[in-house]
Amino acid sequence: MKRVKKSILLTFIFLLTALSSAQALEPEVIVDIDPDGYASYGDKMKALLVNDRAMLPLRDIAEKMGYRTEWHAAEKKIVMKKGNVTVSLVIDSNEAIVNGKPISLDSPAKLIQNKTYVPVRFVSEATNHNVYFSQRAVDYGYPAEIFITFYNMVPDEEWISIYSDHHNYSYYFCEDYLYPNPCYQSLNSYGKTNRNIGIGSTVEEVRKAYGIPRHNSLDRSQSGTLSYWGPFTPQSGDLNALEFTFENGKVVELIVPYGN
């Protein structure tokens, strides 16, 4: 009987701990929408999970995106504006108005502690940005991450494949470490990426496969680099990136640098 009671007690403690951890690790939101700047570590925001939907205070996210907000108390409506984009939401309504057009919400705006919370995905897409969800560090006790970007991000599952691919990539080690330390991967001459890009592929083929890059340094002869990012930690060496180098419009090298 004592063993049964002890087992029940341990199970109860485990469940409480798991629940507490799940509640503590709300998703972190990183906004990276300035092509000429970088997201900073201090700018990360904690999202709330409401009915399994990640929600952020609209005013906070709007300010990071350069929008101004207006609160209409009588109508319980909040409006965000920037240039020719106007977004209106009413508290507890499953419909938003974007530039005069009604948009259905899978989760309505909520008033929580005197702040208007809205779904992260909605506000990202309504402002013509991309949104990506990453669980890359969850197994290590860190929260999930949500990235709002102007570019197309390479998702988690693709990086798992890239880093374990010993057929298409060669691995190179740093020489300035006491012990051999991998520095980067390079696509082999016969290799192909997950999206069937290889040495000799054109700029157009890379853009079609990967979309909008985080960085673009191509010149008029289409020589230079296109850099496609994956999930990252702001202001650190923790970065996943595909660095395509071109000469006269064709890939001559693909480097996958390792973070610090």
The residue out of 149, 175, 208 marking a domain boundary is: 149
Domain that holds residue 207: 156-257
CA distance 197 to 210: 10
pLDDT in tens, 142-193: 999 999 999 999 999 999 999 999 999 999 887 765 666 778 999 999 999 9
CA distance 236 to 199: 30
Same domain, 246 and 132: no
Residue 21 domain-assigned (yes or no): no
What number of CA atoms fall less than 13 Å from residue 33's CA on the CB side? 21
Q: CB-based contacts of 114: which residues, under 8 Å, 6+ apart? A: none
Residue 144 domain-assigned (yes or no): yes
- In the 8-state DSSP scheme, what is residue 175? S
What is the model's pTM?
0.84
Residue 214 domain-assigned (yes or no): yes
Residue 19 domain-assigned (yes or no): no
| Residues found in the chain | 260
pLDDT in tens, 71-113: 999 999 999 999 999 999 999 999 999 999 999 998 999 999 8
Same domain, 167 and 233: yes
- Residue 39: which CATH number? 3.30.457.10
Predicted pLDDT at 10: 40
Same domain, 111 and 192: no
Where would I find the H helices in 69-202? 120-126, 156-163
Residue 182 domain-assigned (yes or no): yes
The residue out of 149, 169, 191 marking a domain boundary is: 149
**Domain count of the fold of the chain:** 2
Same domain, 168 and 142: no
